[in-house]
Amino acid sequence: MTLAATLLAAEENNPLIPHTYELVIGGLAFLLVFVVVGKILTPRIQKTLAERTEAIEGGIQKAENAQAEAQAVLQQYRDKLNEARQEAARLREEAREQGAQIKADLREEAQTEARRIVEAAHAQIEADKAQALAQLRAEIGRLSTDLAGRIVGESLEDEARQRRVVDRFLEELEGSGTAVR
């Protein structure tokens, strides 16, 4: 390159006027970059970035799920514990009620039994008394008849008549007894 040529070149080249060959080669270079970087490679990195976002979000989601599950289990345990406590309290209450009931029942039974025994004794006594009275009555009748026979000297042979006399006597006796009393 000579000085003249350099100066000439400088005069020829206006920096605001593009060279055609630069336009062509620059355009091809840009096209190459666009195809390789834009069309082939950018979609790959976009896919990876999307997958990464998904993975991170998935991880967060998973952690949240696990936490929610743990929370639910804890709640379940608490509920069960509560339930068990209530159940225990209920059972205690029931047992107490049952105990009281049993006590009351036993007392009732004992009282009934006592009453029954007392009544039986009363009945026995009444019966004994009646029997004694009946025996006494027969005895008194016989004794009285014997006595009267001896006194009157007349044997009252006839059984029926004897009895009538005795009965009448006894009625009179009872009637007078009542009146006296």
Partner 1 sequence: MTTLTLLAADGEFQAPGPEIFDFPPLYAGAPVWLNKPVLLAVLGALIVCVFAWTAFAKPKLVPRGVQNIGEYGYTFVRDQCARPFLGKDAERWMPLLLSIFMLILLWNFFGVIPVLQLPVNSHIAFPIIFAVTIYVIKIYLGIKHQGGIGYFKNMMFPPGLPKAVYILMAPLELISNLVLAPFTHAVRLFANMFAGHLILAFFASVGFHFLFEQLTPLGAPLGLVGFVMTTLMTGFEIFIQFLQAFLFTMLAAMYIGGSLHADH
- Residues contributing to the site for partner 1 (CB under 8 A): 1, 3, 6-7, 9-10, 13, 15-19, 21-23, 25-27, 29-30, 32-34, 36-39, 41-49, 51-52, 55
Q: Measured from the CB of residue 65, what is the shortest distance to partner 1 in angstroms? A: 21
Q: Would you say 14 or 178 has its CB closer to partner 1?
A: 14
* Coil, strand or helix at 160: helix
d(CA 43, CA 37): 9
Q: Would you say 36 or 100 has its CB closer to partner 1?
A: 36
DSSP string spanning 62-129? Answer: HHHHHHHHHHHHHHHHHHHHHHHHHHHHHHHHHHHHHHHHHHHHHHHHHHHHHHHHHHHHHHHHHHHH
Q: Would you say 32 or 133 has its CB closer to partner 1?
A: 32
Q: Measured from the CB of residue 40, what is the shortest distance to partner 1 in angstroms? A: 8
Number of H helices, E strands in the chain: 4, 0
Q: Would you say 49 or 117 has its CB closer to partner 1?
A: 49
Q: Measured from the CB of residue 3, what is the shortest distance to partner 1 in angstroms? A: 6
d(CA 86, CA 135): 72
Q: Measured from the CB of residue 67, what is the shortest distance to partner 1 in angstroms? A: 24
Q: Would you say 46 or 101 has its CB closer to partner 1?
A: 46
CB atoms within 10 A of CB 166: 20
Q: Measured from the CB of residue 4, what is the shortest distance to partner 1 in angstroms? A: 11
Please say whether the beta carbons of 156 and 162 come within 8 A.
Answer: yes
Tokens of 101: 């009931």
